[in-house]
Amino acid sequence: METDYIFDGSFEGLLTAIYDGYYEKNPPRQIIPKWAYQFELTKTFHEVVTNSDKFSKVSKAILDKIGREAFVKIYYAFLSEDTYAGITIFNYVKLGFKLGTRIQLYLTEPTVAKIEELNRKVGNERHRFLGLLRFHKLNSGVYYAPYSPQYNISQIIVPHFAKRLATMNFIIHDTKRKIATIYDSDTKEWYLSAFDANQYSLIAEDKYQHELWKAFFKNIAIKERKNPNLQRQFMPKMYWGYLVEKQ
Amino acid sequence: MFKDFTNVNQCFPGGIHMELVKKLEILSAAAKYDVSCSSSGSKRKNTPDGIGNGHVAGICHSWADDGRCISLLKILLTNNCAFDCAYCINRSSNDVQRAAFTPDEVANLTMDFYMRNYIEGLFLSSAVLQSPNHTMELMIKAVKKLRMEYRFNGYIHMKAIPGADRELINEAGLLVDRMSVNIELPSSESLRLLAPQKSKDSIIKPMGQISNSILAIGEERKIFKGTQKFVPAGQTTQLIVGATPETDRTILKLSEGLYNKFSLKRVYFSAYVPIVAHPLLPVLAAPPLLREHRLYQADWLLRFYGFTANEILTEENPDFDPNLDPKCFWALCNLDLFPIEVNKADYFMLLRVPGIGVKSARKIVSARRVGILRHEDLKKLGVVLKRAKYFITCNGKYEGNYKFLPENIKLSILSDGKKNDRFEQLSIFDMTTKLPTIEDQLISASGQL
């Protein structure tokens, strides 16, 4: 009989759940992070215990049998935090073990189509924030970028900035999930950490830069061609809160 | 969100910084008619002690109130111009406020904006200050400071000033990622009338020089890896549409020629915005945006869909149909080639179906290897069925519902299009799906087309 699987919300936890899905008596009905699960007295569930051995076995099997491209797609789908991401990934892996790398061709198969859709969404938001993220220079010399993305994209945008702004110390702060990626220009390394902005005194020195940037933003538009719909379509309002030029 | 930020602004006492803000206002407003915003095509890597790198696909950092993307800090070094081109807001006889950045100011602004991720790099253009050579020297100074002193490896697009010396263009080419020379107007006759100090020759010459150097240094780099790159993101150009009487066909054939002859990366079109009154210029109620839109659509067809200019516009029909995108128009004129069977047709034929773009054509080719495609499958692959259905069969089935005649199909496509009344700059993915009907009204009001 199918049952609900609950995991700790980590990628390691998810791949452990997939391992369990193969060997447990009851296959998964859905695979959900603990924080999103609605506990009910009458429902039984299987609690996944994250296990690094199981994680490595499943990762290796995916890489060997379905390929690197599929592995990245699975990771992106996981970052979407979609309710069905867990079970879709489980079905995708199952299908992938049968079809191998050719799974990429089955674009009309519902599971594959769902994975593709989640990838498109997460990938699009990642690309958007490569442009829309705004850093503020703090009086400590650190560059601080708060943002609130729809999907959990911090891990996949940081490498881009670590390459580009390699000589700057910076913090990218996901205010929605209360996590920050902190990059250290001496060691050229970054790490992920829980982060509460209220515990730090973040003092920006950037008022003048904001003024310059806003002046540019205003004057670069051709007013005879004004088109707010088009602007919103490319740059949805939900992102405006952290955009200097939209304050 | 900034409520926990205290106001620290003591390091910039009034005077100096107000001046810079004012300059930036004037010199970005003066640069806004340059359409190119692209930051793509450069793979320049960051250096260990440097700031910045290129991103091959380019990155948009914001969108201005006109819906155009902001990728680069697009400014003029100065709008103080020795030339007097009739269509240009900065012409010497026009009464506008003048300003000039120093090369240092340009370099510092670029760094400050880049480090905050406002921009992908610098787009530096300029009016002709004293002489073309003097102007280019100042521009090179700014760019040199960025590259040498600040170790800036982000994107730089620089305008070559027509009439500047070969050596200067060469020096600039070794520093920047992209160069462009504006062709300005679609024929030498129009150029002579409206921009008497520029000649076809002074524009074509630097273009040829840049394209030759790109080729030559590209060859050299194959042998000597360390050879310095020359304009690695290629060159582009821009021309104004609607200020002079050329047909769409003339313009499209001109761009085709430029792509073939100088291997340009892009030809940009800029709908003429009536900013200065002049006896030689037409009086327009609004910029011919729909015409510009159609030209861009046709431009995609040239670059990514394997069409030639002669196929898109014929001598009998030298201008675009304002109601139909160029691909639809072509398909309706060539109905004898349709309907095609999506499970069998080759990739290039798929590309020619209205409603099927580059991405969906690729997906069709993949997906049909493992199963027969039906109409409902095509939706999942991103095909715009309401457009494509008239031109295809799926496994032998036709779902067009209309008699297979150009007029019937045109009418039903147009009635579908009515629902979509927003004008958008097209991307490669949606080029056949948008019908800008607001713009249609604008156009009929202005009487152009």
Please spell the DSSP secondary structure of A163-204, one letter per residue. Answer: HHTTTS-EEEEETTTTEEEEEETTTTEEEEEE--GGGS---B
Whether B227 is covered by a domain: the verdict is yes
C-beta atoms of B67 and A143 within 8 A: no
Domain-ending residue, one of B257, B284, B312: B312
A71 lies within 8 A of chain B by CB: no
Structural domain includes residue B262: yes
Same domain, B294 and B427: no
Q: Across B173-275, where does the E strand assignment appear?
A: 178-180, 235-241, 266-271
Note the pLDDT tens digit of each residue in A167-182: 999 999 999 999 999 9
My answer on whether B305 and B331 are in the same domain is: no
**Peptide bond before B339: cis, by omega within 30 degrees of 0?**
yes
For chain A positions 167-226, those within 8 Å of chain B (CB to CB) are 167-168, 197-198, 201-209, 211-213, 215-226
- Chain A: give the shortest CA distance to residue B334, in Å: 31
Residue B3 lies in a domain: no
Q: How many domains does chain B have?
A: 2
**What does the block give as tokens for A49?**
């215990």
Is residue B424 domain-resident?
yes
The residue from B312, B334, B360 where one domain ends is B312
Distances B286 to B150, B244, B426 between C-alpha atoms, Å: 43, 15, 20
Query: In this predicted model, what pLDDT tens digit does every residue of B252-300 receive, in sequence order?
Result: 999 999 999 998 999 999 888 887 778 888 888 888 889 999 999 999 9
pLDDT at B111 over 60: yes
CATH assignment at residue B198 = 3.20.20.70
Tell me, what's the ipTM?
0.94
| Mean local confidence (pLDDT), B418-439 | 40
Amino acid letter, residue B362: R
Establish if B191 belongs to a structural domain: yes
Please indicate, yes or no, if residue B112 is contained in any of the structural domains.
Answer: yes
Beta strands in B143-301 (DSSP E): 155-159, 178-180, 235-241, 266-271
B91 with B165, same domain: the answer is yes
A174: which strand partners?
Answer: A147, A179
Residues B299 and B403 in one domain: no
Q: Give the torsion sign (CA, A231, A233, A235, A236).
A: positive
Residues B307 and B350 both lie in one domain: no
Judged by CB atoms closer than 8 Å, whether chains meet at B367 and A233 is answered as no
Task: Evaluate whether residue B317 is within a structural domain.
Answer: no
Q: Which of the four pLDDT bands, split at 50, 70 and 90, describes residue B442?
A: very low
Compute the mean pLDDT over every residue in chain A, rounded to the nearest whole number.
93
- Evaluate whether A126 touches A156 at the Cβ level (below 8 Å): yes
Residues B413 and B302 grouped into a single domain: no
Q: Which of residues 3-62 of B touch A (CB under 8 A)?
A: 4-9, 11-12, 17, 20-21, 24-26, 28-29, 31-33, 46, 48-53, 55, 57, 59-62
Is there a single domain that holds both residue B301 and residue B357?
A: no
State the residue range of the domain holding B176.
8-312
- Binned at pLDDT 50, 70 and 90, residue B428 comes out as very low
pTM of the model: 0.88
B294 and B333 fall within a common domain: no
Q: Give yes or no: residues B351 and B296 share one domain.
A: no
Residue B318 falls inside a structural domain: no
Q: Per residue in A189-228, pLDDT tens?
A: 999 988 877 766 677 778 899 999 999 999 999 988 899 9
Asked if residue B227 and residue B332 are part of one domain, the reply reads: no
What band does B18 get if pLDDT is binned at 50, 70 and 90? low
Q: In this structure, which amino acid lies at residue B29?
A: A
CA gap A185, B115 in Å, rounded: 14
Note whether A224 contacts B370, CB cutoff 8 Å: no
Residues B252 and B392 in one domain: no
Q: What is the pLDDT of residue B17?
A: 57
Structure tokens at A100: 């191998």
How large is the average pLDDT for residues B84-93? Answer: 88
In chain B, which residues have their Cβ closer than 8 Å to the Cβ of A245?
Answer: 62
Residue B300 shares a structural domain with residue B433: no
Q: DSSP assignment of B80-143, as one string? A: --S---TT-TT-TTS-----B--HHHHHHHHHHHHHTTS-SEEEEE----SSHHHHHHHHHHHH
Mean pLDDT of all residues in chain B? 85
pLDDT at position B108 is: 97
pLDDT at B413 (0 to 100): 79
Q: Considering B247, B279, B312, which residue would you say is the last residue of a domain?
A: B312
